[in-house]
Amino acid sequence: FSLILIMMPLASWYENKLLNLNQ
């Protein structure tokens, strides 16, 4: 089990959320 497998999609999802809020 690797934390990176969770952190990578989580980071991209969080980034998309922030971009949506800025629009």
- pLDDT, position 13: 95
Q: Is the pLDDT of residue 1 over 80?
A: no
DSSP state of 8: H
Segment 5-21, tens digit of pLDDT: 889 999 999 999 999 98
The pLDDT-based confidence of 2 (bands split at 50, 70, 90) is confident
Question: Which is more confidently placed, 22 or 20?
Answer: 20
User: Would you say the pTM of this structure is higher than 0.85?
Assistant: no
Q: Please tell me whether residue 1 adopts helix, strand or coil conformation.
A: coil
How far, in Å, CA of 17 to CA of 23, rounded? 10
User: When comparing pLDDT for 3 and 15, which is higher?
Assistant: 15
Cα(6)–Cα(3) distance, integer angstroms: 5
